[in-house]
């Protein structure tokens, strides 16, 4: 089931974690690689993705975090 453009979940693929559509590449893996310093080009080459796939991962993460509520406890 597509949950965002180019992002899908299927309980039979990666235990239902969000992946890039048509692949078994989890969204969180790509985010981690980018956060660890890999360039778009390195990620694209290593995981056989497109720039649009990378941008879809970033868009999905940004929208997901935008809905998150954080409460200060003090």
The pLDDT tens digits for 26-39 are 999 999 999 999 99
Tell me the whole-structure pTM to 2 decimals.
0.88
Ranges of the chain with pLDDT below 50: none
Q: What's the pLDDT score for residue 31? A: 98
Tokens of residue 70, six digits: 């954080």
Q: What's the burial of 15, exposed, middle or buried (CB within 10 Å: 0-12/13-18/19+)?
A: exposed
Domain count within the chain: 1
CB neighbours (10 Å) of residue 68?
Answer: 6
Is 72 inside a domain boundary?
no
Q: What's the pLDDT score for residue 25? A: 98
Tokens of residue 27, six digits: 């969204």
C-alpha to C-alpha distance for 8 and 21, rounded to whole angstroms: 5
Is 60 inside a domain boundary?
yes
CB 11 within 8 A of CB 18: no
Is 34 inside a domain boundary?
yes
């Amino acid at each position: 089931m597509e949950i965002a453009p180019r992002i899908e979940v299927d309980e039979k693929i990666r235990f239902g974690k969000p992946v890039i559509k048509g692949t078994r590449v989890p969204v969180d893996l790509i985010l981690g690689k980018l956060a660890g310093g890999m360039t778009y080009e390195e990620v694209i080459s290593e995981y056989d993705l497109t720039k649009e796939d990378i941008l879809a991962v970033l868009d999905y993460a940004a929208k997901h975090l935008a809905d998150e509520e954080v409460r200060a406890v003090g």
